């Protein structure tokens, strides 16, 4: 299925996205449309303009993982922009090596006493530490008290 306005004029599609009518096309025509647009975008904007970071569907086995198939195709076609990390910890995986020297998001965490001992300022960023920090996975078991905060304040690190 293809938007009617796009099919009539792929270079200058008419109609409003989300409100345009869809029309049935053959597999051959659909593949030709995809190929033409992919080639046009790659030639106009380069391989960095092609994002191949789909989480997509998946089934058992590596062959049935959508992101693997997409990235193989895009690599054969001239390159692409991928993604870093995963859905849950992508930002942390990118910044942690610069902050603590390694990507600790899935490794043994540094203890809070050690963090406080070796830091001048502690910045908590992008999470609710009362229930999401892996470093204190049992914080919610403490009736909502995050036991490190008082030590952080006492040490003058907050």
Question: Which residues are designated catalytic?
Answer: 55, 57
Q: Which DSSP helix (H) or strand (E) runs through 24? A: none
Burial pattern 23-37, b for ≥16 Cβ within 10 A else e, equals eeeeeeeeeeeeeee
Interstrand relation of 2-3 and 22-23 (parallel, antiparallel or unpaired): antiparallel
Q: Which contacts of 19-22 are long-range, i.e. CB under 8 A and separated by 24 or more positions?
A: none
Q: Which helix (H) or strand (E) holds 77?
A: none
3-state secondary structure of 22: strand
Q: Is 89 exposed, middle or buried (0-12, 13-18, 19+ CB in 10 A)?
A: middle
For residue 2, give the H/E element and its range: strand 2-3
């Amino acid at each position: 299925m293809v938007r009617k306005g796009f099919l009539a004029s792929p270079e200058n599609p008419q109609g409003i996205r989300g409100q345009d009518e869809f029309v049935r096309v053959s597999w051959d025509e659909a593949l030709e449309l995809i190929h033409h647009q992919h080639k046009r975008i790659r030639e106009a904007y380069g391989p960095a303009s092609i994002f191949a970071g789909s989480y997509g569907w998946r089934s058992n086995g590596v062959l049935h993982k959508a992101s693997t198939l997409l990235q193989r195709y895009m690599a054969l076609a001239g390159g692409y922009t991928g993604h870093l990390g995963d859905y849950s910890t992508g930002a942390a995986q990118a910044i942690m090596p610069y902050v603590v020297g390694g990507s600790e998001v899935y490794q043994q965490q540094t203890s809070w006493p050690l963090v406080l001992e070796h830091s001048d300022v502690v910045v908590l960023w992008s999470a609710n530490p009362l229930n999401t920090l892996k470093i204190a996975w049992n914080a919610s078991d403490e009736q909502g008290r995050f036991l490190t905060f008082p030590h952080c304040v006492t040490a003058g690190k907050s």
